[in-house]
Amino acid sequence: MAEFEIVPCPAVHNLYFIGRNYVEHAEELGNEQPTEPLIFTKSLSCMASSGAKVPYPGHSHSLHFEGEMVFVLSEHGRFSKKNPMILAGCGIDFTARDIQSNLKKKGWPWFTAKCFRGSAILSDKFISIPLEFLPRLAVETWINGQKRQRGLYTQKLFSVPVLMKYLANLVDIGNHDVLYTGTPAGVGEVISGDRIEVKLLVDDRVQIQVQCEVE
């Protein structure tokens, strides 16, 4: 069993998110499968670390969890051939689903559905892994001790290198930018008092986990 260096979460500069990166998740919400990456961002004020108490958003009546693999991006979207490593962690993308559904019907931006206090939970630690290990990753989400999601890296529509290259064509990527790479099927509603845990696994062995509780 390989051992990986564990490093603290860097001082994050930007938060990027990929929507509908798992076919079954797109289908469960009645969305079309994208033909190119669907990208959105959240402000740093939305971010909270593991162990956080997440306030239930006052403007919503349907808060959904989305467990995700998270990666620290390389500057300019390129990897060094001398050191082809990447930092991998996990996080939670909370969504005000009722707000999002209404905005989608109107064709309006998703800001109020995605950006609110505690809507981006990020693991305190990351593992440093070689790029060739990416297909061995999996993510799981547990709600109050029950497994609700499991997704494999190999099930993603767009791989991390593809996403990085796509982003790099649009914006200047910094060393401490973070990318949430989409959630697998199984998302659902949480209520006050629920405890959410997301785990990053390599070869089915838990490496990193993040947790929070909805207030």
List pLDDT tens digits, range 150-162: 999 999 999 999 9
Domain boundaries, the chain: 5-214
Residue 82: is its pLDDT beyond 80?
A: no
CATH architecture of 5-214: Alpha-Beta Complex (3.90)
Tokens of 20: 């509908």
Q: Which residue has the higher pLDDT, 46 or 84?
A: 46
Dihedral through CA 182, CA 188, CA 192, CA 195, nearest 10? -60
Residue that is written with structure tokens 């969890």 in the block: 65
The pTM score is: 0.95
Is residue 97 within 8 Å of residue 30, measured between CB atoms? no
Tens digit of pLDDT for each residue in 21-62?
Answer: 998 887 887 878 889 999 999 999 999 999 999 999 999 999
Kindly state the tokens that stand for 158: 């767009």
Nearest-CA neighbor of 86 among 125, 123, 124, 130?
Answer: 130
Rounded CA gap, 13 and 43, in Å? 10
Phi, psi torsion values for 128, nearest 5 degrees: -95, 115
What SS3 state is found at 187? coil
Mean pLDDT of 9-20: 95
Helices (H) and strands (E) in the chain, counts: 4, 17
- Which residue is associated with the tokens 């990318």? 179
Q: Which two tokens stand for residue 2?
A: 């390989």
The 3-state DSSP class for residue 13 equals coil
**Residues 6+ positions from 26 with CB-CB distance below 8 Å:** 20, 32, 33, 34
Q: What's the alpha-carbon Rg for the chain, to the nearest Å?
A: 16
